Amino acid sequence: MTTSLLVKVLVMVGSTVSVGFGVWHFFVPTWWDWYSYIDRSATELVLAVRAINAFFSLSLVLFGVVNVLLVYGGKSNRYSIGVFLAATCVLWMTRLVFQLVYPQGSANPLLQYGMLATFTIVFLCYAISLFIMVSRKADA
């Protein structure tokens, strides 16, 4: 497998999970009844949580889509791909570290470690792609 094809496959895997996680997260507040944990009189807090979740969800979707467009599009260059992959790596590395330090899903080990495995795989997809992109010769 050529390095270019490997980057495309890894970015597609990472981006598919990113987009899927972002779309799924739009529905999490309703499915997990987030707002039942907030006092009904704290309307500003409900609005803030709703806005943060929407921004987070949309960011994941956009990061995933833009990574695919950059890697599969014929108009991008190594620099633009590298910058966006680096930003995506920081995003997923942060999520991975949070899962290690403050694990979510700790009531169910399958959920907790499933999330950890997923975040690790997505981070590695992007990190390996970034490493390949920055280590390639300029003319490649």
User: Mind listing the pLDDT tens digit for each residue in 14-67?
Assistant: 999 999 999 999 999 999 898 999 998 999 999 999 999 999 999 999 999 999
Domain assignment present for residue 97? The answer is yes
Residue that has been written with the tokens 């950059």 in this structure:
70
Q: What is the pTM of this model?
A: 0.90
Domain assignment present for residue 53? The answer is yes
Nearest to 71 by CA among 62, 61, 82: 82
**Residue span of the structural domain in which 12 resides:** 3-135
- For residues 102 and 114, what is the distance between their CA atoms, to the nearest angstrom? 15
Give the chain's domain count: 1
User: C-alpha distances in angstroms, 83 versus 78, 79, 96, 127?
Assistant: 8, 6, 20, 12
